[in-house]
Amino acid sequence: MWRWLHPYAKPEVVYRLLGRWLPWVSIGAAAVLATGLVWGLAFAPADYQQGDSYRIIFVHVPTAMFSMSLYIAMAVAAFVGRVWQLKMADWALAAIAPIGIVFTFISLFTGAVWGKPMWGTWWEWDARLTSQLILFFLYIGVLALYHAFSDNRTGAKAAGILAMVGVINIPIIRYSVDWWNSLHQGATLTVFERPPMANSMLIPLLTCMLGFALLAGALVMQRMRNEILRQELRRPWVKMELQQGEQA
Amino acid sequence: MQFESWQAFIEMGGYGFYVWLAFGVSFLALALVVVQGLRARSKLEQEFVKEQQRQLRLARRKQEVS
């Protein structure tokens, strides 16, 4: 397995591979997301309790979910970077953190805008909302630490440790609605049970989730390519890569 | 289509402000992060060109001296 994986530890190989995949993932993300959102906004039926305000779910739930998945991915990358001293795993921190910030921000903002008409308040210091806000600050902390040192490896190390420690927040977010009395409703989707949601709403929601997953993938790939380029700017392979690009 | 007219679609059963605010800001945030990624990329390319020119100048100066 290691022999098979070995070429993938080379920055130029990963850079080219990401470059080859990026357009397809981007097109896929745009197509699936557009389908899911139009479906959710215009074709899914209104909720019998919440009316049309529930349509915020099509952005809120996918972004909230992937804000947590991205964090776990980032922490795993940090772990791999520390244990196996894989520099590209360290670089993945810088690629994932900005996307995590945006996804967490969107989930918080859409949650607030949904909360106002439904709960009567934009914000409540409730377990789910507060732990998600902490996730937002954790992402910002990781990104800030990463870029805070003139030596890249020191920054990656510090950011990686914060990322790993911060993982404790993920189960807290996940189970906050079960552990504490929360204004926030329980999970809509669980892995093992049939969701208590009509297919006419569930299918566009799942479409949006796939769309946001692809979008997160495309954005992380874009950032990863940038970070590889930034780290390797003085290497000969970059010269070949960029000058070919200019001629083409 | 759940809505009878464009007007009804915009109004969202009275929740139009909230729904479109949520979707609008989300879209804006995503657009910003895409644009920022693209700009970072072009900045790196400029930096690369600058570095190449610097190398070239250094090489020339070395030739002049010797």
Give the whole-number percent of chain A exceeding pLDDT 70: 92
**Which candidate, A241, A247, A245, places its Cα nearest to that of A12?**
A241
Report the residue of chain B nearest A55, measured CA to CA.
Answer: B19
Instruction: For A25-119, list the strands marked E by DSSP.
Output: none
Given a cut of 90, whether residue A6 has pLDDT beyond it is: no
Q: What are phi and psi of A47, to 5 degrees?
A: -75, 145
Percent helix, percent strand, percent coil in chain B, to nearest 5: 90, 0, 10
Which chain A residues touch B3 with a CB distance below 8 Å? Answer: 42
Quick: pLDDT tens for B11-62: 888 898 999 999 999 999 999 999 999 999 999 999 999 988 998 999 999 8
Answer yes or no: do B12 and A53 touch at CB < 8 A.
yes
pLDDT of residue A16: 92
- CA closest to B31 among chain A residues: A102
- The residue of chain A with its CA nearest to that of B27 is A106
What's the ipTM? 0.89
Q: What is the pLDDT of residue A187?
A: 74
Residue A5 pLDDT exceeds 70: no
Residue B2 has its nearest CB partner, among A37, A43, A60, at A43
Query: Which of the residues A212, A226, A227, A237 would you substitute to probe the B interface, choosing the one with the greatest number of B C-beta atoms within 10 Å?
Result: A226
Q: Decide yes or no: CATH 1.20.120 for domain A13-189+201-247.
A: yes
Q: Mean pLDDT for chain A?
A: 90
φ/ψ (deg, to 5) at A120: 85, 10
User: Please, which residues 197-216 of chain A have a Cβ atom closer than 8 Å to chain B?
Assistant: 215
Across the interface, do A222 and B15 touch by the CB < 8 Å criterion?
Answer: no
Give me the residues of B, 5-64, that contact A with CB < 8 A.
Answer: 9, 12-15, 18-19, 21-23, 25-26, 29-30, 32-34, 36-38, 40-41, 44-45, 47-48, 51-52
Q: Each residue of A180-197: pLDDT tens digit?
A: 887 888 777 766 666 778
Each residue of A75-97: pLDDT tens digit? 999 999 999 888 899 999 999 99
Which residues of chain A have a CB within 8 Å of the CB of B13?
A: 46, 51-53
Residues A166/A68, Cβ–Cβ less than 8 Å: no
Cross-chain residue pair A106–B25, CB shorter than 8 Å = yes
* Side-chain-facing half-sphere of A121: CA atoms under 13 Å: 7
Size of interface A-B (CB pairs under 8 A): 94
A70 touches chain B (CB under 8 A): no
CA separation for the pair A225, A223 (Å, rounded): 5
Domains of chain B: which residue ranges? 15-65
Measured CA to CA in angstroms, residue B55 lies from A231, B21, B44, B58, B61 at distances of 18, 51, 16, 5, 10
User: Which residues of chain B lie closer than 8 angstroms to A225, CB-CB?
Assistant: 41
Spans of all domains in chain A = 13-189+201-247
